[in-house]
Structure formats: structure tokens, C-alpha cells
């Protein structure tokens, strides 16, 4: 698997650039995705999404469906796209260090 280096840390990622292992998740990873996503500053709203995603993932072993993310955080899909320009999957889940779901999605 390819590696990504950022601020002295080395992260193992898949071919899509998603973190291979949630255990490697840390502030540097967040900063790395923030830069590549072109997000100027992380706000409390960003963290609300990241925390929700990680909590759900730890409990359920999978990223939440977008509608559950919306309901729990109170952000409409449009707002999530404003926070994470690549969207809930390729932006938010990636920043939160979650694996991306496969199959008919």
C-alpha cells in the first residue's frame, strides 16, 4: 500500500488516499486532508461532523448513512458539502479516517 508523509508522520493509505487504519488517525492526518481538500480553517462545525462519524464508526463498524449524519449533526447535505467540498464520503469520512463502504453505493 502507498504511504503519505505529512509533518513528519507516515500514513498508510489505500489507492484512493483513504487512511488504511483508523488507529493511525491523528491531528496531522486531519491537517493533511484539510490541506488537500482546500479547507482554509477547521471550525467547530467540521469537528461536529468528524466526531459524529468516528463515534458512529466505533459503535457500528461502518460510516453512517448520509441521512443519519444529517439528522444527528443537524446539517443538511448542502451544508456538509460547504464544510467538506468533496462531500460526506470523499471529504468528511476521509478526514475522520474511516474506510469507504463498497458495493452498490
Partner 1 sequence: MAKVPKPEELLSGISYKPPEKGWMAVKPDLRPGTYVNAASAKWLKFLDYPFPRDWSVADEDWKLPPNWREIVLEGMEDRLARFRSLKVFFDICVRCGACADKCHFFLGTGDPKNMPVLRAELMRSVYKRYFTVAGRVLGEVAGARDLDEQVLREWFSYLHQCTICRRCSLFCPYGIDMAEMTILGRELLSSVGLNIEWAAASVGSCYEKGSHIGATPQAYKDMIDFLAEENERITGVTTEVTYNRKGAEILFVVPSGDYFADPGSYTMMGYLLLFKYLDLDYTMSTYAAEGGNFGWFISHEMGKRLNAKIYEEAKRLKVKWIMGGECGHMWRICNQYMPTYYGQPVDFLEEPVSPITGTRFENAKTHKMVHISEFTADLIHHGKLKLDPRRNAHIKLTFHDSCNTSRGMGIFEEPRYIIKSVLPEENFVEMPPHTIRERTFCCGSSAALNADEFMETRMKGGLPRATAVQYVAEKYGVNHLGCICALDRATLPTLVNYWVPGMEVTGITELVGNALVFDDEIDRDMDLRDRELVYPIVKGEAGEETEEAGMEAAEAPEAEEGE
38 near partner 1, judged by CB under 8 A: no
Whose grid coordinates read 461532523?
49
Reply yes or no on whether 26 is catalytic. no
Whose grid coordinates read 469520512?
93
Among 42, 66, 79, 87, binds partner 1 (CB under 8 A): 66
- 78-83 long-range contacts, Cβ below 8 Å, gap at least 24? 79/45, 80/49, 83/39, 83/43, 83/45, 83/46, 83/49
Selected range binding partner 1 among 3-11, 22-30, 40-48, 53-61, rule: CB under 8 A: 53-61
Residues that bind partner 1 (CB under 8 A): 1, 14-17, 59-62, 65-68, 71, 90, 99, 101-105
Amino acid at each position: 500500500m502507498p504511504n503519505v508523509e505529512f509533518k513528519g508522520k507516515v500514513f498508510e493509505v489505500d489507492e484512493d488516499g483513504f487512511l488504511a487504519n483508523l488507529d493511525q488517525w491523528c491531528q496531522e492526518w486531519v491537517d493533511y486532508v484539510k490541506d488537500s481538500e482546500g479547507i482554509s480553517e477547521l471550525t467547530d462545525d467540521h469537528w461536529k461532523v468528524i466526531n459524529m462519524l468516528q463515534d458512529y464508526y466505533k459503535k457500528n463498524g461502518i460510516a453512517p448513512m448520509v441521512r443519519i449524519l444529517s439528522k444527528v449533526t443537524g446539517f443538511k447535505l448542502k451544508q456538509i458539502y460547504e464544510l467538506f467540498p468533496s462531500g460526506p464520503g470523499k471529504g468528511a469520512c476521509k478526514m475522520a479516517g474511516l474506510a469507504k463502504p463498497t458495493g452498490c453505493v
